Structure 1
């Protein structure tokens, strides 16, 4: 199920990052051993009550003069409007209501997206409540007083935010048709790949109304099966700072990946796999999605009998954090191997939703333990009691042990490899949760 996306918008120095950090806590989505995953924290998963959502900080480079501030804020608001399900518009009670707040509020109001107006730095209600009421003048609803630095009022704010999420049952209705996100850096041929897929005679295409301006959802029917393709290629920002373009494309990749079941990472065969490709693939890996690496423009490469092996090896090396990803060599221009792409998508979806019986899992587990003894530390040996699968998309397993501290990362990887040997699980990551026996499931 895709998570709702919540974006934070506001002027410089009103406390966007403080609020982001207060909500994101320490569970920041930076994978330690993933090369090239964004170090500046743009997004994180937040859970409140029984709802989990992706929080996005649209901030970025802080401009110096007031007219630039307004244009930057408008851009951030546009990013939020394009990508988020709910927008948190944050203002500052001590600076009061400022002209640029009003202009951005107009834009947010016209967008029709749900907006929650938050007034920050209210660390004393007695002292500041009269000033909070001033923000009613923005005309986007009731101001919610908080202090991000003191973590006051965050619960009330989150209650208001999650009220705007779609009903869980509504979300599940849309879950039947597999969603495929096509991601990759600019000019690798994402659009031409989608256009080629849409241009195939056997494909029936219908555009889906009501999607945002930049991620275009297209329903494709191939061999009597429906797929929804999420295309993130639609947007080019002219003359913007490189960092901003990157931040923007990361946000858009995150939101597209969030909604997808399978992510097709398109890379350019003539360039080979780059650090930026690894960054984009890292986002999909991070989110536990099914992954296919599509090497495009394969028709333009001079080949001999070893070319494919060389390319595959190089990709595996740079994307070593996701050895399970499927790799396919295509040409969007000539349509080479596009039917194969659909076959791969089907395989990955099957693997993403594969359920394995507990009995079978534990046979593999006991065999694995017999072949390689679990680690020990200062005379205490890890005991593994049993393993069970608790979720799909991605397949998630809970392993019950005597002591979590003894479960070494490398032993989890060893068990993962054993499970993959038995069931394949090609194209999908697997998630393992380690619990001590006696902890509740």
Structure 2
């Protein structure tokens, strides 16, 4: 058990900026516009030799109803309840707001421990705001600047006692177990726990991505609702899904590029695209009522071009009446509109009821297995001989292209190299013929396949070289 620190405060006081500084990465979106953060984001923080878990929260709002602001406040209150320490941030430059006094009273009742910090405190202009923070009755305020890194030594000193207490509690409660060791006396690594399977859930706004991940988790960890575009950050959550360690990324809904005008939405989409690049399996979530719109096709094509294993999930399936007819139409549309992903898993789910989640997990594992598949060189060359005999390559300008041998150069996704003559003259149709044959012969449906043709010259490498004379030959033999 490590120390857990929740950063709380009203909107636009610098919580996400401090979160990014503590984790050492620009994970959370930061903008001058208030209310950027909506979900809880966790990260592994580092402050000197201190290691702890930090939680970035949404700005505390005074709403308590079921509005978006009210739901955001409930998530923040949940973070307060689960954290060991709450770091309450106020803005030293603007001074105390009425909401700061309200939330200070809430934290005094709910939080186990509270540390008060006055952010944006660089320079003499913040002196009045730092002094005013004493009025909250939460002790001496730490004078910090999340943007410039000032006051981190004071924050370290304030957190150290709580970190020592958390470490001592862990030592008392940790069970004593026998650890299996190998012949060298080292404990074997647990497979998958140190490197979980990376899964990104992408799709258009309001397709149900956050609701689906909440159902997988078994708790309302992500903010959901009828409003489109609630999620802004790409939130990653590590779970154990039916025995398989996974890290699932919830991403912001991706609209058509022409409709994305605001800076904040552009940042959100960029964050989601970065999650796709880091993922191993991408789940493209579609709405059963309006599947395979142009934006859905672009998102799926993006995942394929990035070389990720793709699973297509049709959400809100519980609302469909004629399921068999609709499923047949969906499969036909999928084969027609996304031929580059032919054979990829297509799964129907209901994020609201949880139906189909077992099929979704099985499809993710199979897609990941195919994405990592390796074929021996001997099998590949036997297959290549059969493919060439069945359909020889063309002969542009009367010169036949000779395919000599083939090998697999990489996995994740599978990449193959074919040595041949005149690779630049090979038509794209014959490349597709080989790729489709690879899918069928070696059971690699849906996964991106990279096929590279390389030139191998027929020329004798020794042709034109001068033969050694008798004297040089005798010298060499000596």
TM-score (norm 2): 0.51
Question: 2:329: which partner in 1?
Answer: 310
Question: 2:440: which partner in 1?
Answer: 421
For 1:341 and 1:219, locate their aligned partners in 2 and report how far apart those are by CA, in whole Å. 17
For 2:339 and 2:369, locate their aligned partners in 1 and report how far apart those are by CA, in whole Å. 23
For 1:108 and 1:213, locate their aligned partners in 2 and report how far apart those are by CA, in whole Å. 21
Question: 2:397: which partner in 1?
Answer: 378
For 1:380 and 1:234, locate their aligned partners in 2 and report how far apart those are by CA, in whole Å. 51
Question: 1:193: which partner in 2?
Answer: 212
For 1:381 and 1:402, locate their aligned partners in 2 and report how far apart those are by CA, in whole Å. 8
Q: Which moved more, 1:389-398 or 1:306-315?
A: 306-315
1:371 to 1:187, Cα distance in 2 relative to 1, 3 A: same
Question: For 1:279-328, what per-residue CA distance to the aligned partner results, in whole angstroms no more than 9, with x for missing partners?
Answer: 11121111000000101001111215322111221233222332242211
For 1:358 and 1:365, locate their aligned partners in 2 and report how far apart those are by CA, in whole Å. 10
| DSSP-derived class of the 2:351 partner | coil
Question: 1:327: which partner in 2?
Answer: 346
Shift of 1:198: 0.5
| DSSP-derived class of the 1:305 partner | helix
The match for 2:273 among 247, 251, 254 is 254
How does 1:283-432 map onto structure 2 within 5 Å?
A: 283-303=302-322, 305-432=324-451
Question: For 1:344-393, what per-residue CA distance to the aligned partner results, in whole angstroms no more than 9, with x for missing partners?
Answer: 11101111111100000111111000000101211011110111001110
Question: For 1:182-221, what per-residue CA distance to the aligned partner results, in whole angstroms no more than 9, with x for missing partners?
Answer: 1111100000000000018xxxx9xxxxxx9822211121
For 1:235 and 1:398, locate their aligned partners in 2 and report how far apart those are by CA, in whole Å. 35
| DSSP-derived class of the 2:324 partner | coil
Question: Are the aligned partners of 2:254 and 2:269 in contact in 1 as well (CA < 8 Å)?
Answer: no
| DSSP-derived class of the 2:339 partner | coil
| DSSP-derived class of the 1:381 partner | coil
Q: Relative CO higher for 1 or 2, CA cutoff 8 Å, sep ≥ 6?
A: 1
1:369 to 1:250, Cα distance in 2 relative to 1, 3 A: farther
1:399 to 1:234, Cα distance in 2 relative to 1, 3 A: closer
The match for 1:280 among 286, 294, 299 is 299
Looking at CA atoms only, which structure, 1 or 2, has the larger radius of gyration?
2
Unaligned 5+ runs, structure 1? 1-57, 59-70, 83-105, 112-172, 206-211
| DSSP-derived class of the 1:367 partner | helix
Q: How many residue pairs are counted as aligned between the two chains?
A: 270
1:291 to 1:224, Cα distance in 2 relative to 1, 3 A: same
How does 1:119-130 map onto structure 2 within 5 Å?
A: none
1:388 to 1:336, Cα distance in 2 relative to 1, 3 A: same
Shift of 1:249: 4.7
Q: Say yes or no: does 1:183 pair with 2:202.
A: yes
Question: Are the aligned partners of 1:400 and 1:435 in contact in 2 as well (CA < 8 Å)?
Answer: yes
Q: Say yes or no: does 1:230 pair with 2:230.
A: no
The match for 2:283 among 264, 269, 276 is 264
Shift of 1:343: 0.6
1:391 to 1:412, Cα distance in 2 relative to 1, 3 A: same
1:177 to 1:418, Cα distance in 2 relative to 1, 3 A: same
1:235 to 1:321, Cα distance in 2 relative to 1, 3 A: closer
Q: Say yes or no: does 1:216 pair with 2:235.
A: yes
| DSSP-derived class of the 2:453 partner | strand
